[in-house]
């Protein structure tokens, strides 16, 4: 089924079918995006940055999609989401607006209602170039890496975000709800699989500030912030299984 990029589903691999404005098509080509190629449209989580905080179990990274659902009562008697806290600000978690499974998973990180938390800093957007089960290579955002819980042979359980390069990492659990579990499964990431971190790269971002955006990324890791008008002129459809495999192979060739 075809739709404009503006109306396309998020966290889904999409095929570019047509670009209705020649200047926009030319610009996308300069960015390495061509009709027949694939992109991923991201949800609002990518607008915010993941955050590093200190909880009951030490330093952890909270993906922005979870951070906007964790409400903190600060020492200054303010209530705000975790992603809105300031450097070195302290408080306790007052409530969470995510589901029960997500709440239980966050306990791995030492984050639960009434637990103390100290904000350390917001983190830059990064790509985790990762090999899955020694076969496929993919790119995971820093938020996705923070949602993957597991362990290496010589370490205690932790987030994949903190995994060392070149060390096999067995996935035990995905921190989050059904949507993020299904999304990571499209990458080939699920409990029981093995990951090896190859490299961490800062995301290249092209955007116009202070406007509402549709956010996409290319197989090569370039993240584009398109205006609603631009997104409305790009026709896409969901990628089928073979196109997803080709896209994964393309990610490997870009390394």
- For residue 100, count other CB atoms closer than 10 A to its CB: 9
Domains of the chain in start order, with CATH, are 2-44+203-253 (2.30.30.90), 50-122 (no CATH), 126-202 (no CATH)
DSSP notation for 72-90 = EEETTS-EEEGGGPPTT-E
* Residue 126, CA atoms < 13 Å, CB-side half-sphere: 19
Residues with Cβ < 8 Å from 249, sequence gap 6 or more?
A: none
Stretch among 5-19, 94-108, 175-189 having the lowest mean pLDDT: 94-108
- The predicted-structure confidence for 227-253, as pLDDT tens digits, reads as follows 889 999 999 998 887 766 566 555 544
Residue 170: pLDDT over 60: yes
For 176, what's the count of Cα atoms within 13 Å in the CB-facing half-sphere?
27
Q: Specify the higher pLDDT residue, 42 or 92.
A: 92
pLDDT in tens, 131-155: 999 888 888 988 899 999 999 877 7
Kindly tell me if the per-residue pLDDT of 212 is higher than 80. Answer: no
Closest Cα to residue 121, out of 164, 93, 87? Answer: 87
Mark out the alpha helices in 79-193 (DSSP H runs): 100-106, 142-147, 178-187
């Amino acid at each position: 089924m075809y739709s404009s990029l503006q109306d396309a589903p998020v966290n889904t691999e999409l095929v570019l079918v047509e670009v209705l404005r020649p200047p926009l098509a030319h610009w996308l080509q300069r960015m390495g995006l061509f009709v027949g190629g694939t992109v991923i449209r991201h949800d609002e989580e990518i607008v915010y940055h993941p955050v590093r905080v200190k909880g009951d179990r030490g330093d952890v990274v909270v993906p922005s999609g979870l951070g906007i659902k964790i409400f903190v009562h600060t020492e200054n008697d303010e209530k705000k989401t975790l992603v809105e806290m300031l450097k070195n600000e302290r408080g306790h978690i007052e409530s969470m607006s995510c589901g029960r499974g997500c709440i239980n998973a966050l306990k791995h990180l030492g984050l639960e209602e009434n637990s103390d938390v100290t904000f350390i800093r917001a983190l830059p957007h990064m790509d985790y170039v990762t090999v899955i089960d020694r076969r496929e290579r993919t790119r995971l955002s820093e938020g996705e890496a923070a949602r993957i819980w597991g362990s290496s042979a010589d370490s205690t359980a932790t987030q994949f975000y903190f995994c060392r390069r070149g060390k096999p990492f067995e996935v035990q659990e995905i921190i989050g709800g059904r949507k993020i579990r299904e999304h990571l499964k499209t990458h080939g990431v699920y409990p029981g699989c093995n990951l090896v971190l190859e490299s961490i790269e800062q995301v290249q971002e092209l955007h116009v500030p202070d406007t509402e955006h549709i956010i996409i990324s290319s197989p090569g890791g370039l993240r584009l912030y398109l205006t609603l008008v631009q997104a409305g002129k790009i026709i896409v459809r969901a990628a089928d299984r073979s196109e997803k495999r080709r896209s994964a192979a393309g990610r490997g060739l870009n390394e």
